[in-house]
A and B are shown apart, each in its own frame.
Chain A
Amino acid sequence: MPISDTDLEMLETYLDGQLPLPLAEDLWRRLSQEPELSAEMDELRAQRAVRQAIWQSMEPDDVAADAMVRRVSSSIRSRRFMQQAQRWLTVAVAAAACVVVGFQLGWIEHGNGIIGASPAHGVQQVAQTPQAAHAYQVAIKDQNGNLIGTQRFDTQQDAVNFVNFLNTPQTAQSPTVTPMGRPNPGENIVPAADEQF
């Protein structure tokens, strides 16, 4: 009687060590009673032995295994070396960048930097200390109120004095320069901080 596929699967499961005990006990009973089943079990065992021998023959010998381990170890070591080198390189680049930035900051602070050497330097200094030079100006207008000129002063007092001077009868004789808005001396005086220098 041919072996059924179910029986074959059961035999294989038994040989795999995966058959539950009650089923295994049933199988033992049947093996003692059914020679065909027993012969099939022997056949399966033989086939498995051949395959296991083949699997085992695929194991490398010690020399090949050592070579393999060396190969992997070498790859690991080179990888570790590269990682460390990369880390050190990153640190070195960061340190170099810090040095360059520090040097530039020092250079600028000592007035030798690119900004300090530019023509804008004077402008900057004036802007930082508006009271120091020409912080006030007096607008000089003709009789029609047209602006005919400006005069700059360092202090407000100088500007007021200048306006007073223009308003005196002597200066009024001047045909070309006539100050405007006499009674209030501060009227023609405007801060010059917003003017473009």
Chain B
Amino acid sequence: MSQEEQWQPTSQEQTAELFERAVAVHSKRLLAIARSIVGNRASPEDVLQQALMNLYRHRHRYDWREPGGLLRRTVVNEALRIIRQPRMAVLIEESGSGATDDTPVAGMIEKETVAQVRRAIDRLPEHFRAALVLCEYENLSYAQIAENLGATVPQVKTWIHRARRQLAELLRPYHEQLRKKPQAED
């Protein structure tokens, strides 16, 4: 018997309360996941809200005692659904939305490098990007990523590997430029 089958919410009100609590606890990470997948093709806030409302509509089906995975899976699916819509295919130029370079972490890394890497990540195919963010940001195992994305473990391994290779290729000119700079200064 699965965990979902064992779960018996006592009332709709209680389920709604558990849902709201889960959203409050996980909203930051969920928003970061949404933002990392949709990039600047859509509003991550809208993606998150839509995903959560979809989940709320069917909240009685799920076990809300451990909602992290469920919320993450829903947000990933909604983000992928949004950016796979034809009207989202056009890449909008980076306008400094969302992520701030004022965060302490970003402050440690050169702004230009961050911008270059972000642009490169944004150019990856969406399933590569989703697999990569679930691996490196959410620290999920390949099996968990496969479950989240509805793929097989070998597929996920391939996607992540190719995503990294593509990023390296996309960033190579920039890195070479960086390497040349100190030499020129010398």
- B-side contacts of A61, CB under 8 Å: 100
Q: Do A52 and B136 touch across chains, with their CB atoms under 8 A apart? A: yes
Bound-state Cα–Cα, A102 to B144, Å: 61
B49 nearest CB across to chain A (Å)? 6
Q: Is B20 an interface residue (CB 8 A)?
A: yes
Q: Is A58 an interface residue (CB 8 A)?
A: yes
Q: Is the interface of A mostly helix, strand, loop or mixed?
A: helix
Q: Do A69 and B56 touch across chains, with their CB atoms under 8 A apart? A: no
Q: Is B16 an interface residue (CB 8 A)?
A: yes
Q: Which of B62-70, B77-85, B157-165 contacts A (4 or more CB under 8 A)?
A: B157-165
A18-B141, A68-B31, A72-B49 in contact; A55/B133 too (CB < 8 A)? yes
Q: Do B136 and A60 touch across chains, with their CB atoms under 8 A apart? A: no
Q: Is A56 an interface residue (CB 8 A)?
A: yes
Tell me which of B24, B31, B106, B167 contacts A47 (CB under 8 A).
B167
Report the nearest B residue to A53, measured CB to CB: B105
- B-side contacts of A69, CB under 8 Å: 23-24, 27
Q: Do A58 and B160 touch across chains, with their CB atoms under 8 A apart? A: no
Q: Is the interface of B mostly helix, strand, loop or mixed?
A: helix
Q: Which of B3-11, B86-94, B112-120 contacts A (4 or more CB under 8 A)?
A: B112-120
Q: Is A182 an interface residue (CB 8 A)?
A: no
Q: Is B99 an interface residue (CB 8 A)?
A: yes
Q: Do A68 and B45 touch across chains, with their CB atoms under 8 A apart? A: yes
Chain B residues within 8 Å of chain A by Cβ, number? 47
Q: Do B48 and A56 touch across chains, with their CB atoms under 8 A apart? A: no
Interface string of A51-65 (1 = CB under 8 A from B): 111111111110011
Q: Do B161 and A54 touch across chains, with their CB atoms under 8 A apart? A: no
Q: Do A47 and B160 touch across chains, with their CB atoms under 8 A apart? A: no
Q: Do B117 and A54 touch across chains, with their CB atoms under 8 A apart? A: yes
Within 8 A of A (CB), among B95-121: 98-101, 103, 105-106, 108-109, 113-114, 117-118, 121
Bound-state Cα–Cα, A12 to B36, Å: 20
Tell me which of B27, B142, B165 contacts A65 (CB under 8 A).
B27
Q: Is B52 an interface residue (CB 8 A)?
A: yes
Tell me which of A8, A13, A60, A76 contacts B157 (CB under 8 A).
A13
B157 nearest CB across to chain A (Å)? 7
- B-side contacts of A12, CB under 8 Å: 160-161, 164
Q: Do A59 and B31 touch across chains, with their CB atoms under 8 A apart? A: yes
26 contacts between A and B (CB under 8 A): A8-B161, A16-B135, A17-B139, A44-B164, A47-B164, A50-B113, A50-B117, A53-B105, A54-B99, A54-B117, A54-B121, A55-B36, A55-B136, A57-B114, A58-B35, A58-B99, A59-B28, A60-B27, A60-B31, A60-B32, A69-B23, A69-B27, A72-B23, A73-B20, A75-B49, A80-B16
Q: Which 7 A-B pairs have the closest CB atoms?
A: A55-B137, A58-B32, A59-B32, A58-B35, A57-B99, A53-B105, A58-B99
